[in-house]
Amino acid sequence: MEAREQEFLDYVQGGGLVETDDWMPDEYRKRLIKFIEMHGNSELMGVLPERDWILRAPTLQRKLALTAKIQDEVGHCQLIYRVVEDLGKPRERCLDDLISGKSKFHNVFHYPTKSWGDVGVIAWLVDAAAIISQKALLKCSYAPYARVMKKVCWEESFHILHGRDTVLAMVTGTAEQRELVQEAINRWWEPLMHFHGTAIPAEEDPMVIWRIKSQGNEEARQQFLEGYVPQILELGLEIPDPKLRRNDECVWEYTEPDWDKLLAVVTGHGPASQERLEFRRLSRAETDWVSKVVLAEAA
């Protein structure tokens, strides 16, 4: 490592913050772009499973709340892609790489939503898992990203409220409604356990070393389990993992997720991966004329 790079590393490790125009090592820039771009992709792809339920929402209020959540998520995508653009990769190229399968998006958005129960569980638990990662990004050494995260976290907290309220309405409803929630938890538990990634030690994680991330994967998963397992169980719902328990050292033990499956899912082999990408391709092609007209009129 050359001296300038070492100096930069010492600076970020010591809590230093980096702005867009500051000098930064290529590796730092590349890692930022890859990570932040995937975050942006995930916000954009994350609305598709929920979009399927706008027309099927059970009440007008739920329909409006779901639409508002989707608006938030697309807004997050645009904010996050702006950060990537200022680092040197234009938004159009992010979209190209997303659609061609060259870049990735989060595992949880590769699965279908089978019932309204899934919509509640996604907004409650998937967003809860996401907010844990995103809150840790508030301390990211790259300041423009950390600033964007403030707004993102604030809006995500509404989604968790919306999701929990949806779940509460269903578990206090008919036996059939309660069953829909239980089935959704059974379906989403594995993806949720995959969500924070393999338990790579924080001191070996380059993302932690550059202080792009401030918490290790396992630390995030433990925080999720600690916060949400009691909330699930108190509703009389079951978690489909017989090994799940909090041991004497207050550490959550669980069945080791199938990590090969996670890799397969995020590389485009999930149950809904190709369908979702195809939808994104189609909608980009279909709306192309709109951006052309708007840009031509402004010119």
Partner 1 sequence: MIWEVFRQERKGQPFTHGGSFHAPDQAFADAYAREFYARRGESVALWVVPREAINAIEEFPDEFDLKYRRVDGYSIKARLKEARDRAGTTAD
Q: Which residues bind partner 1 (CB under 8 A)?
A: 21, 71, 75, 78-79, 82, 91, 147-148, 151, 154-155, 294-295, 297-299
Beta carbon of residue 284, minimum distance to partner 1 (angstroms, whole number): 15
**Look-up of token digits 């630390």:** 219
Q: How far apart are CA 237 and CA 232, in angstroms?
A: 6
Q: Please enumerate in sequence order all residues whose Cβ is within 8 A of that of 261, keeping only pairs 6 or more positions apart, or say none.
A: 190, 194
Beta carbon of residue 27, minimum distance to partner 1 (angstroms, whole number): 24
**Hey, which residues does 18 pair with through a beta bridge?**
142
Whether the Cβ atoms of residue 48 and residue 172 lie closer than 8 Å to each other: no
Given the complex with partner 1, which of 82 and 281 has the nearer CB atom? 82
Given the complex with partner 1, which of 18 and 181 has the nearer CB atom? 18
Whether the Cβ atoms of residue 8 and residue 24 lie closer than 8 Å to each other: yes
Q: Three-state DSSP class for 253? A: strand
Beta carbon of residue 228, minimum distance to partner 1 (angstroms, whole number): 25
Given the complex with partner 1, which of 69 and 104 has the nearer CB atom? 69
Beta carbon of residue 296, minimum distance to partner 1 (angstroms, whole number): 9
Beta carbon of residue 76, minimum distance to partner 1 (angstroms, whole number): 10
Given the complex with partner 1, which of 283 and 291 has the nearer CB atom? 291
Beta carbon of residue 22, minimum distance to partner 1 (angstroms, whole number): 9
The secondary structure element, H or E, covering residue 245 is strand 245-246
Beta carbon of residue 294, minimum distance to partner 1 (angstroms, whole number): 5
Given the complex with partner 1, which of 125 and 152 has the nearer CB atom? 152
Whether the Cβ atoms of residue 240 and residue 185 lie closer than 8 Å to each other: yes
Whether the Cβ atoms of residue 264 and residue 101 lie closer than 8 Å to each other: no
Closest CA to 131 of 47, 214, 220, 211: 220
Q: How far apart are CA 232 and CA 45, in angstroms?
A: 26
Whether the Cβ atoms of residue 105 and residue 49 lie closer than 8 Å to each other: no
Given the complex with partner 1, which of 29 and 91 has the nearer CB atom? 91
Beta carbon of residue 151, minimum distance to partner 1 (angstroms, whole number): 7
Given the complex with partner 1, which of 54 and 209 has the nearer CB atom? 54
Q: How far apart are CA 8 and CA 66, in angstroms?
A: 43
Given the complex with partner 1, which of 16 and 197 has the nearer CB atom? 16
How far CA 106 is from CA of 110, 195, 268, 275, 287, in Å, comes to: 8, 8, 11, 15, 24
Q: Three-state DSSP class for 171? A: helix
DSSP assignment letter at 250: S
